[in-house]
């Protein structure tokens, strides 16, 4: 890990300006002072310059300055208060090693100051009598405790600031991660909607184009109606695709989404493609939530699209909506394509499951329900259950998928 931290220009300018101003202001009383005092002032101000840029370097400069001060016999000065800022910086901005070195400096520094003002004071003055009493008396204890408390408090405040900065960074990372997850979910939803719109529209267009091609010579009116349906379907699909692309480009909120009221138009559109769709409703409809309405519409849309592609279009497709007191069960039943051989009618193999079934299953799960899709000897059946989710303030009733 690098010993240098990255600072903005404003932070760097502030860290240089403040110690420089302090050095100039405090230098005036020291004009006639000894060189060691000027050295101490310069060293402590230099340590303050590097306290955020390099806490390790600042701690080293402070210790070198303090040792030089004690070696020269200079008395404590106002400049020594810079040590408090250095210890704060080691806990707040330093690497893990520097932080613990600052913590160790609390005890070593307090002991050094105590010895300096008691034992070393006697050595400097040549008065060896009574230093033991000074060291072990109330004066020595007061020097040690006051130094320990002031150094420890500065370091502890820095540690609190370090924790707050880490917590702020963690919140920022969590927010960024949540935003990325939300964006990814939105992209997945848009891709799923794009698949539904394009697949359904192209299936209708292909069916109508085939019908128009065969009816062009024998029934011009039917061919014209087929072309009109193609134009309408393509125009609606283009509008839906533009809305989805706009969401991808500008990160806007959800565009217009289909509701239960659009099911009739969907059924009529598929009928116009030549598929005999028979809708059956039973029970009293309940006010489904937005997610459930979108899921129900997309499931029916995808099922009818698959019927246009893979089922026997000469046979009717049943769409049944059964409303209960807890939700709605949607069932779409289509007949499999059969081939006639000398041994009788044999249904063709069911097409492999693609993204359509997976998308419908996911939509049902997102709506709080479930979906089953499978084929028997003659039919392919899609069954979906969506629980009641009111649009008001009432909580939805969540049911488990039945096992029978």
* CATH number where 287 lies: 3.30.565.10
CA pair distance 227, 398, nearest whole angstrom: 45
Is 112 inside any structural domain?
Answer: yes
DSSP-derived pairing of the beta strands 379-387 and 370-375: antiparallel
Q: Which of 237, 368, 400 lies closest to 290, judged by CA? A: 368
Is 238 inside any structural domain?
Answer: no
Whether residues 39 and 159 share a domain: the answer is yes
Enumerate residue ranges in the chain where pLDDT < 50: 250-254, 341-353, 390-404
Instruction: State the sign of the Cα–Cα–Cα–Cα dihedral 311, 309, 268, 376.
Output: positive
Whether residues 390 and 282 share a domain: the answer is yes
Among residues 146, 175, 204, the one where a domain terminates is 175
CA pair distance 358, 113, nearest whole angstrom: 74
Is 57 inside any structural domain?
Answer: yes
pLDDT of residue 35: 81
What pTM value is reported for the model? 0.47
Among residues 124, 155, 175, the one where a domain terminates is 175
CA pair distance 171, 206, nearest whole angstrom: 52
Whether residues 158 and 29 share a domain: the answer is yes
Whether residues 27 and 139 share a domain: the answer is yes
Among residues 121, 143, 175, the one where a domain terminates is 175
Q: CB of 328 within 8 A of CB of 313?
A: no
Task: Say how many CA atoms lie within 13 Å of 152 toward its Cβ.
Answer: 10
Whether residues 310 and 169 share a domain: the answer is no
Q: CB of 319 within 8 A of CB of 279?
A: yes
Is 124 inside any structural domain?
Answer: yes
Q: Structural domain of residue 119, as residue ranges?
A: 9-175
pLDDT of residue 396: 37
Is 184 inside any structural domain?
Answer: no
Is 217 inside any structural domain?
Answer: no
Domains: count for the chain: 2
Map the chain to HEC letters: CCCCCCCCHHHHHHHHHHHHHHHHHHHHHHCCCCHHHHHHHHHHHHHHHCCCCCHHHHHHHHHHHHHHHHHHCCCCCHHHHHHHHHHHHHHHHCCHHHHHHHHHHHHHHHHHHHHHHHHHHHHHHCCCCCHHHHHHCHHHHHHHHHHHHHHHHHHHHHHHHHHHHHHHHHHHHHHHHHHHHHHHHHHHHHHHHHHHHHHHHHHHHHHHHHHHHHHCCCCHHHHHHHHHHHHHHHHHHHHHHHHHHHHHHHCCCCCCCCCHHHHHHHHHHHHHCCCCEEEEEECCCCCCCHHHHHHHHHHHHHHHHHHHHHECCCCCEEEEEEECCCEEEEEEEEEECEEEECCEEEECCCCCCCHHHHHHHHHHHHCCCEEEEEECCCEEEEEEEEECCCCCCCCCCCCCCCCC
pLDDT of residue 362: 77
pLDDT of residue 186: 61
Is 259 inside any structural domain?
Answer: no
Whether residues 141 and 284 share a domain: the answer is no
All residues at 6 or more sequence positions from 26 whose CB lies less than 8 Å from its CB, including other chains: 41, 78, 79
All residues at 6 or more sequence positions from 78 whose CB lies less than 8 Å from its CB, including other chains: 26
pLDDT of residue 322: 93
Is 227 inside any structural domain?
Answer: no
Whether residues 17 and 158 share a domain: the answer is yes
């Amino acid at each position: 890990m690098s010993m240098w931290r990255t600072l903005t220009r404003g932070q760097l300018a502030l860290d240089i300006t403040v110690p420089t101003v302090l050095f100039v202001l405090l230098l005036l009383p020291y004009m006639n002072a000894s060189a060691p005092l000027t050295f101490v002032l310069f060293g402590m101000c230099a340590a303050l310059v590097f306290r955020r840029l390099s806490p390790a370097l600042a701690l080293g400069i402070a210790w070198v300055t303090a040792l030089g001060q004690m070696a020269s016999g200079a008395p404590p000065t106002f400049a020594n208060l810079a040590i408090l800022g250095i210890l704060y910086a080691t806990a707040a901005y330093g690497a893990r090693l520097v932080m613990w070195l600052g913590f160790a400096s609390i005890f070593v520094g307090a002991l050094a100051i105590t010895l300096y003002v008691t034992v070393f004071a006697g050595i400097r003055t040549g008065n060896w009598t009574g230093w033991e009493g000074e060291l072990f008396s109330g004066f020595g204890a007061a020097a040690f405790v006051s130094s320990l408390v002031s150094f420890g408090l500065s370091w502890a405040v820095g540690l609190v600031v370090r924790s707050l900065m880490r917590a702020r960074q963690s919140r920022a990372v969590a927010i960024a991660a949540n935003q990325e997850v939300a964006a990814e979910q939105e992209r997945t939803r848009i891709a799923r909607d794009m698949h539904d719109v394009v697949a359904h529209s192209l299936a209708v267009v292909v069916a109508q184009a085939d019908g128009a091609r065969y009816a062009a010579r024998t029934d011009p009116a039917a061919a014209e109606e087929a072309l009109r349906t193609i134009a309408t379907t393509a125009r609606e699909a283009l509008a839906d695709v533009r809305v989805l692309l706009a969401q991808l480009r500008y990160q806007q909120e959800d565009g217009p989404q289909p509701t239960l009221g659009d099911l009739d138009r969907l059924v009529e559109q598929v009928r116009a493609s030549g598929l005999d769709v028979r809708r059956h409703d039973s029970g009293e409809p309940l006010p489904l939530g937005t997610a459930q309405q979108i899921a129900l519409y997309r499931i029916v849309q995808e099922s009818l699209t698959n019927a246009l592609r893979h089922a026997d279009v000469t046979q009717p497709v049943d769409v049944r909506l059964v409303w209960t007191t807890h939700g709605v069960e949607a069932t779409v039943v289509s007949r499999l394509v059969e081939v006639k051989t000398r041994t009788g009618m044999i249904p063709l193999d069911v097409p492999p499951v693609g993204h359509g079934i997976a998308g419908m299953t996911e939509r049902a799960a997102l709506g709080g329900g479930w979906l089953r899709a499978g084929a028997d000897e003659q039919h392919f059946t899609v069954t979906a259950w969506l629980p009641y989710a009111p649009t008001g303030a009432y909580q939805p009733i969540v049911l488990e998928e039945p096992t029978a």
